[in-house]
């Protein structure tokens, strides 16, 4: 699998060279076929003209060489076509890989932006949450201070000595058990 832009460029270059070689070999093949046809018709002409057997042997040798060269060129073209197919396949895989990497990169970029925004919003969010919690605590503290003041006044009223000759105004004692409160003396 191709993994870098330089590999991609190398494959592109190889593909272009292969295509040029195929064109060159195809041209040579066409020229060889033309020569073969010319040589195949030459013996017929030489027979008509009454040429010597040496001329025919030379032509047959040339035909044989051209046929072999033609075979070699066809094999080379086949090899180059296979290589081109492989290069195209690698190029397709590379493009798919590149598309996948680009999609992943865009996804990570979006995630990064989201996290950066979250980090920027975090101090404000922290302040807001802290303020909400402090408001609840302040409300509770104010309630407790009000209750403390009320209870302090109630204790002061109870602790004030009665003037002489007045009778204390006690609440009637119920048969139920009197609850005890921490920090206060037990009722008798």
Model pTM above 0.85: no
Is residue 183 a part of any domain in this protein? no
User: Residue 68 falls within a domain, yes or no?
Assistant: yes
Q: How many domains does one find in the chain?
A: 1
Which of 48-52, 85-89, 108-112 has the weakest average pLDDT?
48-52
pLDDT at 25: 80
Between the CA of residue 93 and those of 8, 60, 96, 98, 179, what are the distances in Å?
11, 49, 5, 8, 85
> Among the residues of the chain, which ranges form H helices?
5-49, 53-159
- For residue 95, being part of any structural domain is answered with yes
| Radius of gyration over every alpha carbon of the chain, rounded to an integer in angstroms | 53
Bigger pLDDT: 61 vs 137: 137
Domain that holds residue 38: 5-116
φ/ψ (deg, to 5) at 6: -65, -35
| Average pLDDT value over all residues in the chain | 79
DSSP state for residue 181 in the 8-state scheme? -
Task: Judge whether 36 lies within some domain.
Answer: yes
Average pLDDT of span 36-59: 64
In a domain, 182, yes or no: no
* Residue 44 forms part of a structural domain: yes
Of residues 170 and 61, the one with the higher pLDDT is 61
In a domain, 162, yes or no: no
Confidence at residue 100, expressed as pLDDT on a 0 to 100 scale: 92
- The answer to whether residue 157 is domain-embedded is no
What pLDDT is stored for residue 106 in this prediction?
95
Q: What is the pLDDT of residues 103-161, one digit of tens each?
A: 999 999 999 999 999 999 989 999 999 999 999 999 999 999 999 999 999 888 887 66
CATH number of the CATH domain containing 9: 1.10.287
pLDDT of amino acid 6: 77
């Amino acid at each position: 699998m191709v993994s870098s832009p330089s590999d991609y460029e190398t494959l592109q270059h190889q593909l272009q060279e292969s295509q040029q070689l195929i064109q060159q070999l195809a041209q040579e093949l066409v020229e060889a076929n033309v020569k073969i046809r010319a040589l195949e018709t030459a013996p017929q002409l030489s027979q008509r003209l009454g040429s010597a057997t040496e001329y025919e042997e030379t032509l047959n040798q040339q035909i044989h060489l051209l046929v072999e060269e033609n075979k070699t060129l066809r094999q080379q073209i086949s090899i180059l076509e296979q290589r081109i197919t492989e290069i195209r396949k690698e190029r397709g895989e590379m493009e798919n890989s590149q598309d996948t990497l680009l999609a992943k990169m865009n996804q990570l970029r979006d995630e990064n932006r989201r996290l950066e925004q979250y980090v920027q919003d975090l101090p404000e969010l922290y302040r807001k949450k802290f303020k909400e919690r402090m408001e609840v605590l302040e409300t509770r503290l104010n309630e407790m201070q009000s209750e403390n003041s009320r209870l302090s006044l109630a204790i002061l009223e109870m602790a004030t000595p009665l003037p002489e000759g007045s009778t204390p105004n006690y609440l009637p004692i119920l048969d139920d058990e009197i609850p005890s409160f921490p920090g206060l003396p037990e009722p008798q």
